[in-house]
Amino acid sequence: MTDAPAAPVRPAVRVTVAQLQVGTDRAANVEVARDAVREAARVRADVVVLPEYASAFDPRGVGPDLAEPLDGPFVTAVREEAARAGVAVLAGTTLPGEEDDAARRVVNAVVGVGADGSLVGVYRKVHLYDAFGQRESDRFVAGPADAPPLVLDVAGLRLGVMTCYDLRFPESARRLVDAGADVLVVPAAWAPGPLKAMHWRTLAVARAIENTAAVVAVGQAGRGVVGRSLVVGPDGVVGLELDETPQVRTVDLDAAALTAVRERNPSLANRRYTVVPRP
């Protein structure tokens, strides 16, 4: 009788959190994004996460003047730098809308780029920020709720993507977990206001606990946003938390620890309901 082989040890995944300050100068934003990818390569990260609107941001509102296609300068530069650095990238951008949209609305998107520079996928934000006195739907077209989830395989873990206001909707996170996500990645430009920073932190922790998944919530820094990026373990423990200032930090996500949390707390296996997108 021989001993059964030991289960393979799942590796740690190194994640660079790029809490960037972004403006309306798109060429400058490209250089800021390139620098973040280079820093991720310097510390040997597997993936770098840039915030929502990393391509261009105006706190007064993002519109067609700041949108560009997937083959435009920003995504092209990110893909080039990812391939050069050998680092996967998740980055928020703004895409042009349909030509026949009389309101000239645009699309809030996150692009997933592989470490080889390939465009792995695009997530178009489903929940538009029509809350707290804002009307994002006046300027943006929502992504289809039934579109396939954007989930990337990175160094042994699966990263599922949602954006900013999506964090308030537990169904978005659960749908990503149903698609195999171990880590929920949330690029954001979280607006300030009474209790808003507290909501941001509390919701990120809640999504981690209820899904026994790590959460990488990357906020934008600067005027009109709160920053405060954080990384939460699948047990709800906050392992990294930034202030409002621009900064780039790197953490390791322990895949074995995630497996252990799910074994101790099999809430995903015990649930009785599924998530079905509304038409």
Contact 18, 51 (CB under 8 A): yes
Instruction: Please report whether residue 48 resides in a domain.
Output: yes
Instruction: Please report whether residue 73 resides in a domain.
Output: yes
Contact 262, 212 (CB under 8 A): yes
> Which residues partner with 159 through β-bridges?
152, 183
Which pLDDT score, from 0 to 100, does residue 103 have? Answer: 75
Which pLDDT score, from 0 to 100, does residue 102 have? Answer: 62
Instruction: Please report whether residue 78 resides in a domain.
Output: yes
3-state secondary structure at position 251: strand
Alpha carbon distance 4, 239 (integer Å): 35
Q: What is the residue type of 241?
A: E
Alpha carbon distance 246, 264 (integer Å): 37
Instruction: Please report whether residue 121 resides in a domain.
Output: yes
**Tokens 């692009």 sit on residue:** 111
Which pLDDT score, from 0 to 100, does residue 4 have? Answer: 40
Which pLDDT score, from 0 to 100, does residue 218 have? Answer: 98
81 is catalytic: no
Instruction: Please report whether residue 278 resides in a domain.
Output: no
- 260 CB-near residues (< 8 Å, 6+ apart): none
Catalytic hit among 52, 68, 81, 136: 52
Tally of domains within the chain: 1
H or E stretch at 137: none
125 is catalytic: yes
Residue 38: phi and psi, rounded to 5, are: -65, -40
Going residue by residue through the chain, which has 279 residues, state the pLDDT in tens, using 9 for 90 and above.
Answer: 334 444 445 578 999 999 999 999 999 999 999 999 999 999 999 999 999 999 999 999 999 999 999 999 999 999 999 999 999 999 999 999 987 776 789 999 999 999 999 999 999 999 999 999 999 999 999 999 999 999 999 998 999 999 999 999 999 999 999 999 999 999 999 999 999 999 999 999 999 999 999 999 999 999 999 999 999 999 999 999 999 999 999 999 999 999 999 999 999 999 999 999 987
Instruction: Please report whether residue 274 resides in a domain.
Output: no
Instruction: Please report whether residue 39 resides in a domain.
Output: yes
Nearest CA to 116 among 150, 162, 154, 60?
154
For 145, the domain range is 12-267
Which pLDDT score, from 0 to 100, does residue 3 have? Answer: 43
> Which residues partner with 160 through β-bridges?
151, 184
CATH number at residue 197: 3.60.110.10
Which pLDDT score, from 0 to 100, does residue 9 have? Answer: 53
Instruction: Please report whether residue 277 resides in a domain.
Output: no
CB-hemisphere CA count at 13 Å for 30?
A: 15
- 1 CB-near residues (< 8 Å, 6+ apart): none
